[in-house]
Structure formats: C-alpha cells, structure tokens
Structure 1
Amino acid sequence: MALQHESTAPYHSVQRALRILDLLSTRPDGVTEAELSRATRSSGPPLTGLLRMLRREGYLVQAPDGAYLRGEALGRLGDGSGAGRESLQDVLDRLRTDLGAAVYVGRYLGGEVRVPHLADAPDTPAVNEWVAFGATGHASAIGKCLLSQLDAEARREHLSRHRPARLTSRTITNERVLATRLSGQPPTVPVLDLQEYAVGTVCAAVPLTAGAAVGCLALSLPVEQTHRLRPAADALNRAAASVLLALAL
C-alpha cells in the first residue's frame, strides 16, 4: 500500500516560533509582520501559517492596526503555573478532535520506547496496548518512527534487548529487513503501521526531534478507516510544529 505524503520541517518552524516569542516578550507595544519576517527570515505562506498557529495556541494576538502582541499563553510561561504541560495537552486534545483519531507523543528515553502523552476519547479510543509498547518498537508506528531516528549501532543494541516477535501476520521479524526499512525511512515521511502491532488498527507517526532528543507524534485509526490514514497522516505532519513548540516551552 503506497502512500505519498507532504514534506514538512517542524523543527525549523519551532526555531522561527521561538524567535517570534522572544521578540514579542521584549516589545510590549507590538511587532509588525515585516519585523517578524526579518527576525525569522521567513515570509509568505510559511510565516502566515506560523503566525496563525501561534494565534490559535494563544501565544500572540493581532491588534486592529495589524501589529502582533503577546498573548495570554506567552504571559503564563515561566510563572510556575504548569502552563507548558497544560498547553501540550490542550494541543493534543484539539488535534484529536481535528483528526478524529487518538493522538500520542512517543519518546525514546533511557534506551526504551515510551508513550508519556495521549489524547483519546470514547469516539476516538486509543489502541489496546495488548503487548507493551516498550517491547514492540519493531511493529508499532511509534516504535518504528523512534528507532528510525537512531543510528545503526543504537538500533542494533535496542533490537538485541527487544527481539522482534510476530504480533500479527504483517509484523516484520527479520532483523535485516527491519534494519533496512528503518535506515531508509525519510525523516519527513510518516511511518506507517498497517496492522503490524494489532489486528484491526492502523497507525502513522512523524518525528518530533530537537537536538539530541528523539520523539514522535502519532495517531491511530480502526482498520475500517484506513482510507483516512493518508490525509490524517499529512495533517499530523503539519501539526508537528505546534506540538514540538508546546514540548519546548
């Protein structure tokens, strides 16, 4: 099942967003779009989309004269209220609603696959973790996305501790085949799980990488909605910058 997807660069978008927030924090009277364009070395649709995302998250507001001012969410950062964590959950909850799918944040921490953040609901249930995600990185979209971001030695070390086991008829258990697919995974193309982890569920994941941290953003759908996987994965890719920003803040 071949799927073509859009390319994005969420990490670079976050770098630009952080420059905007830094500038806004020092300019209480507001900043023009031209000034933001110079500060971020960005213009046109990329800048427009970034400003739209920051307005939606409450980090900035636009005055009647067109200038951009700091928003309530930016003012709460660093005040000890835990706004950063709440902001992340708000972003995930909104993304779950927009995509009509359960949404996950995966991290590779201490040599293990972990899923520390999740947004689901009765009409968008999370996948049944019938085998621990930490032991099934070879099969789940989250695990494969995280492992694809490691170097070859780190991947071999991980798979030596968590041997690929057959979970469904679609699970790849041949380590050589698995290593080839992981090393050849383009960083801007969503990683797919087409019933490799669990029968009845399809998933997609995209990287959330900043510096040495390895993470991913993922979604799951019932197999009956496989036709929605491509547009949902592309929307997930576009949303990666807002999630990465929430994690960074």
Structure 2
Amino acid sequence: MAAEPTLIGSVQRALHLLDAVGASERPVPAKVLARTVGLPLPTAYHLLRTLVHEGYLSKLDDGYTLGSQVGELRRRNSLHALLPRIRPVLRALRDEVHGAAYLSLYSDGDIKLVDIADGPTAPSADLWVGVHESAHATAFGKCILSALDADGRRDYLSRHRLADLTPHTITDTRVLEQRLSQSDDVFNDREEYLLGTSCVAATVRAHGLLGAVAISLPSRRLGTAQPQSLRRAAQRVSRALSVITI
C-alpha cells in the first residue's frame, strides 16, 4: 500500500483561504473566512496577513479580495500555455539564421527572458549577467526600452545602473538615449554584452504586452542576420501573444 503523502497543513489552510476569497464576488471579512474554512480566528488572521504581505490578497475596509499577484499568476499561466505556439517560431528563426533565438518581455518594470531556442550548432549566449540588469547592453533590451514612453524609460534607467560589461558597452545615459532614437523596431548590440557575440532584435507588441524577439550570433556573422527575418518572427509572436488577457 502506498504511503500517505506528507502535507503541510499551513499551506493547505492558506490555499483554502485563497479559494474562499476567489469564490466570492465581494470582499470577504476575516470572520466569515475563518468560519468558511473552519479555522480559529487568530490562525486565520495570521495567514491572511501573510497572504496580503505576499500580494496574493488585498485587504479592504470591508474584507479581503484577491491581490495583484494572483493576476500575475494568471498572466504567466496564459503565457506558459502559449509556449507551444511560440517555441516553433523561435526554432524556425534559429534554423533560418543559424543562431540562438530568444523571447523577452517587459513585466512589472523589468525585462525578463521568457524562452530560448538554441541547439548544438546555435548555442545560446553565456548569460553571465542577469537580463533584467543588462537591457542597455542587449539588443532585445534596447528594443523594449525604445518602445517605453519617456516616463517608463526614465523609471527603468533610474533603477538600473548602466554596468560596464565590455569595452563596447554604452554606459552614458545620453548616448543610450541617442541610440534608442535611431531605430524604430530593430536594434543590435555589437559585443556590448559579451565579447565575441552580437545580437539583433525586433520589437513584439500585443494587447498591453511589450517584448522582443532576438538572435545571437558570433560577431563575425552579424552581417548575415536579416532584419526581415526578425520582423517576421516578431509579428508571429505578437499574434500568438495577442490572445493573452491582461
């Protein structure tokens, strides 16, 4: 007979509280939640405070509602469900240009790498510095920064230092702003993130989502990357992402 799984009671109770809040169309008071879930009121308050602190619930004057983190989980789940449609686009781009392909998105004020299509003949770049810290030095980061409004870009740059990653990295905000104004949807980096590696990227836009599709290549092959290939891939990804509800 199989052994009973080991369960964490506090996690179960917190999830039951989330379920109870999610099942109501109106804010739910703590006393009602405690009674619904079958918890002592002090225990319910303790769990509710934790869930509010972590963003899974919000506390209003008349009770608790689902928090912003729940919406973010829904969005991420929608994105994960679309990966089977997005990954073939990245693989086709990889095979066309013989370079690793990437999808990144702008979310919660940061730039996040969502997926990579690489292979033995198209290895991905060594991401030795976090993507969220190196937008100024990557092609997909520049695509996204250029598409932000002035306030959004100013906010991002105020929170992220222009780190000097290679001798080619732009570390002056004025120079970066000038570079960002020189193109509308396709950007490159020439060994700005990693010596010996260059990237080209095109902007992705879809119903409140902003991102970029990029390829990385040995710098000697940068000239073989055709902008139209990036644009086609970005358009296909944009169409796939357009079904996500934000």
TM-score of the two chains, using structure 1 as the length reference? 0.62
Report 1:36-185 matches (<5 A). Answer: 84-182=82-180, 184-185=181-182
Q: Does 1:235 align with 2:229?
A: yes
Residue identity opposite 1:242 in structure 2: R
Q: Is the 8 A contact 1:146 1:207 kept in 2?
A: yes
Return closer, same or farther for 1:83/1:107 CA change in 2, 3 Å cut-off.
closer
Give the C-alpha shift of residue 212 in structure 1. 2.4
Q: Which moved more, 1:133-142 or 1:237-246?
A: 237-246
Structure 1 residue identity aligned to 2:118:
D
* Counterpart residue type for residue 157 of structure 2: L
Q: Percent same amino acid among aligned pairs?
A: 39
Tell me the secondary structure at the aligned position of residue 137 of structure 2. Answer: coil
Whose strand proportion is higher, 1 or 2? 2
Q: Does 1:211 align with 2:210?
A: no
- Counterpart CA distance in 2 for 1:141 and 1:199 is 14
Residue 83 of structure 1 deviates from its aligned partner by: 6.7
Question: Aligned-pair distance for 1:237?
Answer: 1.3
Give the structure, 1 or 2, with the largest relative contact order (CA under 8 Å, sep 6 or more): 1
Q: Tell me, which stretches of 5 or more residues in structure 2 are unaligned? A: 1-77
Deviation at residue 179 of structure 1 after TM alignment: 1.8
Q: Secondary structure at the match of 1:167?
A: coil
Asked whether the equivalents of residues 124 and 216 of structure 2 are also in contact (C-alpha less than 8 Å), the reply is yes
Amino acid of the residue matched to residue 200 of structure 2? A
Deviates more, 1:207-216 or 1:114-123: 207-216
Give how far 1:224 is off. Answer: 2.4
Q: Is the 8 A contact 1:192 1:204 kept in 2?
A: yes
- Offset, 1:113: 0.9
Selected match of 2:222 from 221, 226, 230? 226
CA-to-partner distance for each residue in 1:53-88, whole Å, 9 max, x for gaps? xxxxxxxxxxxxxxxxxxxxxxxxxxx9x8743121
Residue segments in structure 1 that go unaligned for 5+ positions in a row: 1-79
Instruction: State which structure, 1 or 2, has the greater radius of gyration over its C-alpha atoms.
Output: 2
Structure 1 stretches (4+) deviating beyond 4 angstroms? none
- Return the alpha-carbon distance in structure 2 between the equivalents of residues 95 and 114 of structure 1: 20
**Inter-partner Cα distance in structure 1 for 2:136 and 2:193:** 9
Partner Cα distance (2:219, 2:183) in 1: 24
Question: Which residue of the other structure, out of 227, 238, 242, is the alignment partner of 1:244?
Answer: 238
Q: 1:148, 1:185 within 8 Å by CA — same for their partners in 2? A: no
Q: CA deviation at 1:104?
A: 0.6
Alignment check: 8 A CA contact 1:202 1:226 kept: yes
